[in-house]
Amino acid sequence: MPRIACLQISASETAEEAAELAVGLAKLALDKGASVLCLPEYCGGLQTSGTQFSPPVFAEEIHPLVMKMQDFATRFKVWILVGSVAVVGPDERYYNRSLLIDDKGEVIARYDKLHLFDVNLGGENRFSESDTVCPGKNAVIVNTPFGTLGLSICYDLRFAGLYHTLALAGATILTIPAAFTKATGEAHWHVLNTARAIETGSYVVAPCMIGPVSGGGETYGHSLIIDPWGRILADGGTDVGVVVADINPKLSGETRKMIPNLTNGKSFSVINVNITKEGVRHAI
């Protein structure tokens, strides 16, 4: 069975520093027998500036972390999910892009984050990702020897319809690289990832950054690998490091046969019932 690793890294100020950290953890993942390595969101470097994210931005083909991971994949014959890096966009904004690198070092799939993190949690916990990030336009799945991946990034996790669509399109492994904030992570990270696995009958692989971010903010960690039945196979906790789990490519199909909610869903309309002051109920 394929062994997947989540590489739980901390935020680096530069892409070069991020690349060196990623290589070090990638070697640890190899020591644990992993053949698929997954990095978190903004693994190519991250800082914050006020309410905005401020990662190092490069053209994809010259991004230091991407090039390091391509070289690593080629040398050691492993697949690598670059959770996301900041890639030059069509205007002053950049794309928050996830890339899948095969065991020959080729980028075979790209996904630009659809849902941008514009939230106000109170106090200093305000973020406006759309100020600097250009949103993607398409959902993406990719066939691999170890299963069909449905790609997503961080805040996408809150939009169940995306994962339903990916699963219906054939995805059996949902990748959810993240830099989830500590505040939202403590409240929602485990339950949302587990829900996405259960409601789609899919594996969830969710590498998450850990620790403080230069400029303000803190990420949650607890990188997760969850099976289609909702069982947590690995949890990265709160330290930099690597967690691994073996996946069974047949389990998603078996689970969906037992609980076929993807195909049992119904189309329906909504009846709006109003109550007047006189107490008369009107269905509209």
Q: Which of 85, 79, 84 is nearest to 37 (CA)?
A: 79
Catalytic site residue from 6, 38, 41, 68: 41
Task: Annotate 254-282 with DSSP letters as a single string.
Answer: HHHHHS-HHHH--------EEE-TT--EE
Q: Could you tell me what percent of the chain has a pLDDT over 90?
A: 84
* pLDDT band of 273, cuts 50, 70, 90: confident
Mean pLDDT of the chain: 94
Query: Could you give all domains of the chain from N- to C-terminal order, each with its CATH number?
Result: 3-249 (3.60.110.10)
pLDDT at position 255 over 90: yes
DSSP at 208: B
What are the φ/ψ torsions at residue 189 (nearest 5 degrees)?
A: -55, -55
* pTM for this prediction: 0.95
Tokens of 231: 């069982």
Q: Which residue has the higher pLDDT, 275 or 184?
A: 184
Question: Is 154 annotated as catalytic?
Answer: yes
Interval 198-222 mean pLDDT: 96
* pLDDT band of 272, cuts 50, 70, 90: confident
Interval 237-249 mean pLDDT: 97
Question: Is 257 annotated as catalytic?
Answer: no
- SS3 call for 232: strand
Q: Which of 52-56, 184-188, 257-261, 274-278 has the lowest mean pLDDT?
A: 274-278
Catalytic site residue from 6, 38, 134, 154: 154
Catalytic site residue from 6, 113, 134, 182: 113
Question: Is 27 annotated as catalytic?
Answer: no
Q: Which of 87, 82, 19 is nearest to 56 (CA)?
A: 87
Interval 154-160 mean pLDDT: 97
User: Cα–Cα distances in Å, from 162 out to 123, 170, 242?
Assistant: 30, 13, 28
pLDDT of residue 123: 67
Q: What is the pLDDT of residues 62-81, one digit of tens each?
A: 999 999 999 999 999 999 99
pLDDT at position 284 over 60: no
